[in-house]
């Protein structure tokens, strides 16, 4: 009880303690704001990648693809842990609007829009056909034409004046008029051995598509370089529609209660069994390069960079936090210097060294807790208004934290996460304990006979 009383007394009476609380609060405030924004950005980016990919991908890196994908798709869909599976064609294409003499090298993805929307978040990224994905490839102005879905930034890259325009807040402005022009999409058809199918004739496959919709996944690279086409047409373009049809990947969504790793392991087992069953079939060698990856592994190259930046930022704040440890050390050193008589009296009535250390470490914890709580509260208030503040700055000074015409970021993430908050408060307490430890030990070593000498009083 006396420990609480003395700690509270020091906390209130020793004004120097307020500076320690202030320093902790300042650090907690900044760290909470920065980490909330960073964590929000990383989580948002991961979520968008997850929605783009689905839970798991069975596929091969080579553009040749693999055979018997229909059988594999059927087996996967019959599995009790899988909700849906969608086979896709992936390749590169030369895409040329009909009014220009030049083309753009882009990625194409051939999909069945309904299946793909069940396996991934594709349907949610559409603008005109969000409510009826089955018509995703039907141009609104003339549904019987062959349509393609452009990544929301691809239209601008193709020089299409009616393409959605990015607004300064990171959203898109969609034109009321439909663009009725077409694009020609050309691909190099590959044989099962990977050679160009018509190289000797100097031919490649080309199809004309009309714009049917735009897909806004929120992933800059995807939105700026991907064109979705119907599965069958993409298969023909890539030369995968022979007697033994091929596809590049199968995107899978697990049932809600299925753990990601468990699900991927089960898919890997199914794939192994499937490979064995097909071992003697024609072109079965193409299955050798097929692997199973969770969405995190599949998009690792993109996600890892952001996670590393978050880690680096944490390390930098850790370094800055050392100053807070120093402040606590100095404040406690001062308090102990001034309160040597209190300590002498406590020890003279039988309080042990460990109790003295506990007393000061408890005091340090209170400083950490109060400082972190004040900083966190301030941070929370600031984060609540961060988007309004940015909006105000933009309106009055033209300042944006991120230029939304360059970065695929919408609002600044401002949802404080419990884990981030807990880590910050715990770190603040640990920093205070670290800073107070040496002075506390020094206090415990004080000799009451010396500190309570008449000459010292």
Q: Is 196 one of the binding residues for another protein (CB under 8 A)?
A: yes
Separation of first and last alpha carbons in the chain: 27
Which helix (DSSP H) or strand (DSSP E) does residue 215 occupy? Answer: strand 205-215
Report CA-CA distances (Å) from 65 to 253, 271, 433.
21, 15, 58
Residues of this chain, 266-305, that bind another protein according to CB under 8 A: 301, 305
By the 8 A CB rule, do 17 and 9 touch? no
| Contact with another protein (CB under 8 A) among 49, 53, 96, 117 | 96
Q: Is 330 one of the binding residues for another protein (CB under 8 A)?
A: yes
Nearer to another protein, 117 or 294 (CB): 294
- Which x/- pattern over 42-81 shows residues binding another protein (rule: CB under 8 A)? --------------------xxx-----------------
Quickly list H helices, 62-147: 69-78, 113-119, 122-125
| Contact with another protein (CB under 8 A) among 175, 276, 337, 415 | 337
- Which x/- pattern over 142-181 shows residues binding another protein (rule: CB under 8 A)? ----x-----------------------------------
Burial tier of 105 (Cβ tally within 10 Å: 0-12, 13-18, 19+): exposed
Nearer to another protein, 70 or 232 (CB): 232
Nearer to another protein, 188 or 247 (CB): 188
Q: Is 329 one of the binding residues for another protein (CB under 8 A)?
A: yes
Torsion angles phi and psi, residue 205, rounded to 5: -90, 135
Shortest CB 21 distance to another protein, Å: 10
| Contact with another protein (CB under 8 A) among 5, 203, 269, 279 | 203
Quickly list H helices, 79-200: 113-119, 122-125, 154-157
Give the Cα-Cα-Cα angle 157, 95, 142 (nearest 5 degrees).
90
- Name every residue whose Cβ is closer than 8 Å to that of residue 153 and which is 6 or more positions away in sequence: 166, 220, 223, 224
Beta-carbon neighbour count of residue 287 at 10 Å? Answer: 20
Q: By CB under 8 A, which span of 214-222, 276-284, 343-351, 403-411 interacts with another protein?
A: 403-411
Nearer to another protein, 90 or 120 (CB): 90
Quickly list H helices, 87-230: 113-119, 122-125, 154-157, 220-225
Nearer to another protein, 20 or 118 (CB): 20
Angle at which helix 16-53 crosses helix 300-338, to 10 degrees, equals 170
Nearer to another protein, 358 or 391 (CB): 391
Q: Is 243 one of the binding residues for another protein (CB under 8 A)?
A: no
Q: Is 453 one of the binding residues for another protein (CB under 8 A)?
A: no
Residues of this chain, 304-323, that bind another protein according to CB under 8 A: 305, 308, 311-312, 316-317, 319-320, 322-323
Q: Is 372 one of the binding residues for another protein (CB under 8 A)?
A: no
Q: Is 26 one of the binding residues for another protein (CB under 8 A)?
A: yes
Distance CA 30, CA 37 (A): 11
| Contact with another protein (CB under 8 A) among 51, 284, 334, 423 | 334
Distance CA 361, CA 67 (A): 67
| Contact with another protein (CB under 8 A) among 55, 107, 135, 153 | 107
Nearer to another protein, 346 or 409 (CB): 409
- DSSP state letters, 411-430: SPP----HHHHHHHHHHHHH
| Contact with another protein (CB under 8 A) among 23, 88, 234, 367 | 23
Q: Is 213 one of the binding residues for another protein (CB under 8 A)?
A: no
Nearer to another protein, 14 or 417 (CB): 14
């Amino acid at each position: 009880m006396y420990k609480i009383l003395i700690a509270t007394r020091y906390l209130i009476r020793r004004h120097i303690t307020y500076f320690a609380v202030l320093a902790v609060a300042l650090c907690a405030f900044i760290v909470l704001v920065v980490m909330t924004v960073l964590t929000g950005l990383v989580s948002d980016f991961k979520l968008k990648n997850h929605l783009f990919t689905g839970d798991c991908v069975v596929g091969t890196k080579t553009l040749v693809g693999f055979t018997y994908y229909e059988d594999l798709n059927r087996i996967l869909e019959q599995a009790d842990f899988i909700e849906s599976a969608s086979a896709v064609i992936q390749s590169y294409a030369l895409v040329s609007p009909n009014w220009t003499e030049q083309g753009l090298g882009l990625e194409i993805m051939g999909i069945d829009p309904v299946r793909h929307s069940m396996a991934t978040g594709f349907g949610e990224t559409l603008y005109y056909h969000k409510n009826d994905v089955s018509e995703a490839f039907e141009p609104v102005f003339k549904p019987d034409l062959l349509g393609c879905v452009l990544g929301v930034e691809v239209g601008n890259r193709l020089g299409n004046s009616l393409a959605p325009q990015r607004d300064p807040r990171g959203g898109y402005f969609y034109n009321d008029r439909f663009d009725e022009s077409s694009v020609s999409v050309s691909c190099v058809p590959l044989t099962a051995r990977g050679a160009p199918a018509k190289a000797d004739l100097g031919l490649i496959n080309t199809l004309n598509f009309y714009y049917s919709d735009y897909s806004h996944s929120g992933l800059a690279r995807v939105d700026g370089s991907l064109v979705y086409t119907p599965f069958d047409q993409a298969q023909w373009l890539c030369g995968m529609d022979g007697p033994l049809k091929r596809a590049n990947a199968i995107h899978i969504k697990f049932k809600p209660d299925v753990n990601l790793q468990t699900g991927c392991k089960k898919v890997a087992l199914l794939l192994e069994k499937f490979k064995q069953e097909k071992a003697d079939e024609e072109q079965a060698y193409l299955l050798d390069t097929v692997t199973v990856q969770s969405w995190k592994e599949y998009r690792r190259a993109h996600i890892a960079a952001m996670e590393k930046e978050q880690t680096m930022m944490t390390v930098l704040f850790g370094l800055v936090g050392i100053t807070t440890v120093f402040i606590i050390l100095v404040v406690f050193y001062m308090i102990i210097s001034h309160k040597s008589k209190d300590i002498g009296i406590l020890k003279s009535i039988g309080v042990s060294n460990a109790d003295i250390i506990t007393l000061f470490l408890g005091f340090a914890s209170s400083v950490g807790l109060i400082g972190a709580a004040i900083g966190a509260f301030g941070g929370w208030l600031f984060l609540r208004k961060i988007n309004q503040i940015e909006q105000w700055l933009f309106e009055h000074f033209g300042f944006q934290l991120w230029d939304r015409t360059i970065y695929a970021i919408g609002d600044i993430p401002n949802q404080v996460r419990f884990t981030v908050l807990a880590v910050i408060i715990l770190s603040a307490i640990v920093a205070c304990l670290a800073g107070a430890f040496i002075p506390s030990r020094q206090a415990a070593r004080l000799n009451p006979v010396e500190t309570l000498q008449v000459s010292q009083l």
